[in-house]
Amino acid sequence: MSFADIEYSNRKRTTKRDEFLKIMNEVIPWEEWVEIIKPYYPTGKRGRPPVGAQKILRMYLLQDWFNLSDEGVEDAIYDSYAFRNFMGINFYDNQAPDATTLCNFRKLLNENGITQKFHDSINRFLDKHGKLMHGGTIVDATIVAAPTSTKNSDGKRDPEMHQVKKGNQWYFGERLHIGADAGTGYIHSLEVTAANVEERAIVPQLVRKDDEVVYGDAGYCGMEKRKEIKENPHL
C-alpha cells in the first residue's frame, strides 16, 4: 500500500461514487467481457504494445457511467482516487491510457457490435440471479438530436438521421426505442432508428417472448391495429 492508500482507507465515510464502483467491479463478468473483446483487439505484434484489454475497458465504462469526454475521463483518473482504484493503477508501475487510445477502443467496440454482446451478457447474469421479473415490459422512445449543419466534406446531413415534428417543434436526429423490465426497470432491449420512424412500429422488437403485458404512453395508442402486431401470435 502507498501512503495515499493508507490515508484514504482512514476516511470517515464512503462516497456514493466509491460504493457504485465497488458494486460494478463485482457485478461485471470481467473475464467473459475480455474474451469477447480479444478476437478484435490488437495483439501487439506490430507497433507499440497495446494497453491491456481490461484496463481500457474499465476506462471506457467510467466514461460512459459519468458522461465524460475522452480527455475528461483521462483527467478524472489522475484526479480521483476512486477512479484510479477502479482502474487498478498505482502510477508507480503504469499510467492511465490516453484519450486517443480510448477513442480507438470505442470505435472498435461499435464497429464490431461488441457493446450489444456486453448487454446480452449482463441480461443473462441478471436473469440467472433472479434480478429480472419477466412477464411485463415498459416501452418508450426518445429523440436523440444530431447536428443539422451541412458544413462538412460531403456537404450533406447524416443519411441515417431524419427530421420529425413533435408537438409544435421540429427535431433532427435519431430515435432510441427502449424496452424495460416492468418489475425492475432494467433495460433489456434497445433499437435505434431515424427520428421519423413511429414508436409503435418497433414494439415487436422490444417485447420478450414471455411477456404477457406491455405498458406504454399515449404514443403507443392504436398499436393493436397495426398489421405487424395482428400477425404476430405472441403479441
pLDDT digits (tens, 9 = 90+) for 77-136: 998 888 998 998 877 777 888 999 999 999 999 899 999 899 888 888 888 888 788 889
Tell me what pLDDT residue 51 has.
84
Query: Which of the residues in the chain have pLDDT under 70?
Result: 1-12, 45-49, 151-152, 234-235
Tell me what pLDDT residue 99 has.
92
Phi, psi of 214 (to 5 degrees): -125, 130
In the block, residue with C-alpha cell 482504484: 85
| Interval 22-31: pLDDT, tens | 999 988 889 9
Tell me what pLDDT residue 193 has.
93
- For the entire predicted model, the pTM comes to 0.72
In the block, residue with C-alpha cell 507497433: 47
The DSSP output letter for 208 is: -
Tell me what pLDDT residue 1 has.
64
Asked if 178 and 189 touch (Cβ cutoff 8 Å), the reply is yes
Asked if 187 and 115 touch (Cβ cutoff 8 Å), the reply is no
User: Residue 230 to residues 83, 226, 227: CA-CA distances in angstroms?
Assistant: 50, 6, 5
Question: Which residues, in sequence order, are CB contacts of 73 under 8 Å at separation 6+?
Answer: 59, 62, 63, 66, 83, 99, 102
DSSP notation for 48-72: SPPPPHHHHHHHHHHHHHTT--HHH
Partnered with residue 144 across adjacent β-strands are 174
Tell me what pLDDT residue 146 has.
83
Cα-Cα-Cα-Cα dihedral sign, residues 120, 121, 127, 130 = negative
Tell me what pLDDT residue 149 has.
72
Tell me what pLDDT residue 177 has.
94
Tell me what pLDDT residue 167 has.
80
Tell me what pLDDT residue 130 has.
81
Tell me what pLDDT residue 77 has.
92
Tell me what pLDDT residue 235 has.
65
Q: Are strands 213-215 and 169-181 parallel, antiparallel or unpaired?
A: unpaired
Which three cell numbers mark 77? 483518473
